Amino acid sequence: MTLFVNNLTHLDVSLWCPHRGLIGASWHVGVELDGQLGEDGMLFDFGQVKPWVKSHLDSGPDHTLLVPLEAPGLSVHDCSEGICIRTTTPYPMEVRGPRQAFTLLPWKEVTPQRLADHYSTVLSRRPPPRVEAIRLELHDEAIEDAAFTYSHGLKHHEGNCQRIAHGHRSRLRIWAQGSRQPELESAWAERLHDRYLVTEDDIADAGPPGPRGQLTIRYKAAQGQFQIRLPRERCIIMPTPTTVEHIAAWLSDGITSESESEVRVQAFEGIGKGAFSGPRSVMANG
């Protein structure tokens, strides 16, 4: 017998890609379990499948930076903060933080399929009674219109969002003069795509001016000391913490001032949640 649970939870992570650099990702998580039925007619109670899988992922890869140890130009060192990851290609980056903020993986490149197979093996080490095989499945949300991926850290967050390099893949919707604005959506999603969103107050060293200069962002949070240094051109600096409420407001203010027309923005933080900013009245004509 095979049991399945679709959309069991989401994973929100950043990962180092040898081609694109630091990118955010949000994946739907599903699971299939093979095994024998018990006297209760069940293979494993759905009410227990979900917390069992979710607790492993929440205390593992969720809200971490996924680090492919065999990626070209990538190295890992111990440091006073915990561990330090350095990269050279496609651009130089250094990130430091407590160990729990990183998931080290013995590959050249991270893919959702590899990660799913890896955590299927981890879960299979201590399977629930009667469960003989476990297959996790990770996939992107299907998004037909504009979307972007970004990475950030929220130093005031009490949970794992304080980690300086975690990220999301997010929809972006914009309304003006009574209708959706697909061209604006694509243009602004493109501006944000694969960027690191910086809170201005957290900049410890702004480096030399110009796009090739490096920004250093540093803060102390409940889990420890965090630091990331990466090219200024990969960053977008915001005057506020990079919560989705502030991202939505930053977008609606910026788009309104550039297009000289009031807009309402729906910014997502990963899958299925986010914030609106701007007047509701621009969503309807008249």
Q: Give me the residues that bind ligand LPXRUNBV (CB under 6 A), please.
A: 9-10, 12, 62-63, 154, 157, 159, 161, 166, 243-245, 269-270
Q: How far is the CB of 163 from ligand LPXRUNBV (least distance, A)?
A: 9
Q: Smaller CB distance to ligand LPXRUNBV: residue 27 or 175?
A: 27
The answer to whether the Cα torsion of 171, 174, 178, 179 is positive or negative is: negative
Alpha-carbon gap, residue 283 to 279, rounded angstroms = 8
Q: What residues contact residue 258 under an 8 Å CB cut-off, 6+ apart? A: none
Which residue bears the tokens 């050279």?
A: 88
Q: How far is the CB of 200 from ligand LPXRUNBV (least distance, A)?
A: 17
Alpha-carbon gap, residue 114 to 127, rounded angstroms = 20
- The residue number with the shortest CB distance to ligand LPXRUNBV is 161
Q: Smaller CB distance to ligand LPXRUNBV: residue 247 or 255?
A: 247
Radius of gyration of the chain (CA): 21
Q: How far is the CB of 156 from ligand LPXRUNBV (least distance, A)?
A: 10
Q: Smaller CB distance to ligand LPXRUNBV: residue 62 or 185?
A: 62
Q: How far is the CB of 114 from ligand LPXRUNBV (least distance, A)?
A: 21
Q: Smaller CB distance to ligand LPXRUNBV: residue 17 or 154?
A: 154
With beta carbons less than 8 A apart as the criterion, state whether 53 and 126 touch.
Answer: no
Helix (H) or strand (E) holding 224: strand 224-231
Q: Smaller CB distance to ligand LPXRUNBV: residue 93 or 165?
A: 165
What does the block give as tokens for 166?
A: 């975690």
Q: What residues contact residue 262 under an 8 Å CB cut-off, 6+ apart? A: 176, 256, 278, 279, 282
Q: How far is the CB of 57 from ligand LPXRUNBV (least distance, A)?
A: 9
Q: How far is the CB of 42 from ligand LPXRUNBV (least distance, A)?
A: 25
